[in-house]
Structure 1
Amino acid sequence: MAEPAEKKGNAIVETIKTVVYALLIAGLFRTLLFQPFWIPSGSMKDTLLIGDFLFVNKMSYGYSYASCPSIRIPAVGLDVDAEDFCGWSKGGNKRLFGSEPERGDVVVFRHPVTGSDYIKRLIGLPGDRVQIKEGVVIINGEAVKVEAAGTFTEEFAAQGPQRMLPRCANGAVGEGGTCEKEKFTETLPNGVSHSVLNIGNQRADNTGVYTVPEGHFFFMGDNRDNSTDSRFSQSVGGVGFVPFEDLIGRADRIMFSSAGRSMLFFWTWRSDRFFKGIN
């Protein structure tokens, strides 16, 4: 016997309600708790590799307009920015339940001009004087501790969906060759130690003194010679000083990692990086 039209209609309504509720819950989860982030470039090697997938802890620093999600699906022409949702709360450089980040945190933030999401390490706090001399970071007149930690190696091959080629300290090694970079352990004034990579003498290895304004932060990538960060001003495509309200959250742990063009290519999964803590 055919199902009554009224019952079918109720079933459709209930299905729509379920989908709407699920989307609302997912939106609330992403806005208030965690945001997924896929590492697209090599600027944070070897702490983070292209293809690492992580969740950003939005509770770390409180909430601002940047906490609202951006939804970008180029395949269907969908591009909804956080400012479209919460632009009304932008300005004043304030946060709700705000908590200051700590030096050495790995932070996801919005670029102050373009609105694109970046991930870098926090080096300079408000009021700090930061300078780089011969590749060594100097904070408030004191050089950070740097110790040799061997050599970072990887295959010279296209990486990730963008098919990016790594830069090597040992020159043009050719496709399939071993690409090398010097590796060091850097210890910041508060005792946070992490890995940094060096390719060779670069323009950004020697800078003037950056004085971090109040309410702003200075970020650098761990792959020092392959990172567009606070050493470069926003007028030349860099990050410059990042306002407190542009911080999205702290990256604490890698959940999943794939070395291939897609996370569906299971044979490229890096099982040794699953659930790995970020230092």
Structure 2
Amino acid sequence: MTDQTSGGARAAAAKANKRGRKAKSEGRESFIFLLKLLLFVFILRSFIVSPFVIPSESMQPRLLVGDYLLAAKWPYGFSRYSLPWGMPLLPSSRILPRQPERGDVVIFRAPPTNDVDYIKRVIGLPGDLVQIRKGQIILNGTPIPRQRIADFVHPVSPNSPCYALEKGVPSPFLHRDSTGQAVCRYPQYRETLPNGHSYAVLDLRPTENDDTEVYVVPEGHLFLMGDNRDRSLDSRFSVERGGIGFVPQDNLVGRAMVSIFSTDGSANWFLPWTWFTAARWERIGETF
């Protein structure tokens, strides 16, 4: 009986050890899988594509608050700003650099702090002379064609209220469509750059920023502007005036590629069906 009991104990101990080794093996495999997954996501986000959410109205009409897009990371080369949180694993100067084209919509680390991602359109390249006269871009002495087109109209929503030009004064851009829905209606123009890039911009009214000095874009820098000319602190404004000034090309993060989602801001996390009703489905899949 004692031998049988001892043998049973040894068998039980062997089974327990086997289970322990199996559990450790499964735990180790799970840990290795998790490391591989994190490495894959890190490489994907750093060198291939990364998500970006639109936080302001500066790029209307092409981009609205609540748009989510993917940015291609490879077109302009790589630097520390390509990595999540600007991790200092790469040099600040770009590796495999390539210069953007005029008209590209780029994501970059905004001067002077270089710790916040902005999105703007490339207007001026190194050596270019850029000036604004009565709202029209003068590029290297030649006016950029600017044509008035149909107003930009979009429904009023939490993410897209109508601008009030003066505090306490109702917005002059607020209207009702044929169904009675509240909509915003903004003056819209089409610009066409010398390389053929054509895009729509908003210009709400004449302002002091519609006439500027002549800017000479330094070597290694870019002159960037928002498409919503009256709602963008861009290269027209020095960092002392709250803008970004000339942006170093080393600050480039990527090029806008495709819109992957858009929400009007009316969703309630506790009401799942509103996640669908708040989606602006027609904006999903739009490319640049």
TM range (shorter): 0.7 to 0.9
Match of 2:88, SS state, is: helix
Point out where structure 1 has 5 or more consecutive residues left out of the alignment: 71-81
Q: What's the counterpart of residue 139 of structure 2?
A: 139
1:155 positional shift = 3.5
Contact 2:126 2:218 in 1 (8 A): yes
Deviations along 1:18-71, whole A, 9 cap, x unmatched? 11110011001111111111111111111111111111111111111211112x
1:89 to 86, 91, 97: 91
Q: Distance in 2 between matches of 1:241 and 1:250?
A: 18
Q: State the match for 1:260 in structure 2.
A: 265
Equivalence for 1:226: 231
Letter in structure 1 aligned against 2:133: K
How many corresponding residue pairs? 258
**Structure 2 unaligned spans of 5+:** 1-14, 166-170
Q: Report the TM-score when normalising by structure 2.
A: 0.83
Verify the 8 A CA contact 2:173 2:185 in the aligned structure 1.
no
**1:151-183 CA distance string (max 9 Å, x none):** 112344431xxxx74426762749974322101
Q: Distance in 2 between matches of 1:216 and 1:46?
A: 26
Q: Which residue of 2 aligns with 1:107?
A: 106
Deviates more, 1:19-28 or 1:175-184: 175-184
For residues 194 and 172 of structure 1, what CA distance do their matches in structure 2 show? 22
Q: Does 1:54 align with 2:57?
A: no
Correspondence 1:123-272 to 2 at 5 A = 123-159=123-159, 165-167=161-163, 171=172, 173=174, 177-260=182-265, 265-272=275-282
Contact 2:202-2:227 within 8 A present in 1 as well:
yes
Bigger Rg, structure 1 or 2:
2
Alignment partners' CA distance in 2, 1:34 and 1:55: 6
Whole-Å Cα distance in 1 between the matches of residues 162 and 29 of structure 2? 51
3-state SS of paired residue (1:5):
helix
Q: Report the residue type matching 2:146 in the other structure.
A: V
From the superposition, tell whether residues 180 and 150 of structure 1 become closer, same or farther in structure 2 (CA, over 3 Å). same
Aligned-pair identity (%): 40
Deviations 1:184-211 (A, max 9, x none): 1101121110000111012211111111
TM-score by length of 1: 0.86
Q: Which moved more, 1:258-267 or 1:237-246?
A: 258-267
Q: Cα deviation per residue 1:71-123 (whole Å; 9 max; x = unaligned)? A: xxxxxxxxxxx0x433x612xxx421111100000000001222200000000
Aligned in 2, Cα 1:121/1:174: closer, same or farther, shift over 3 Å? same
2: CA distance, partners of 1:137 / 1:112: 23
List, as ranges, runs of 4+ consecutive aligned residues in structure 1 with deviation greater than 6 Å: none
CA distance in 1, matches of 2:163, 2:125: 30
Amino acid at match of 1:40: P
Residue matched to 1:16: 31
Residue 65 of structure 1: aligned partner: 80
What value does the CA root-mean-square deviation take over the aligned residues? 2.2
Per-residue deviation, 1:268 = 1.2
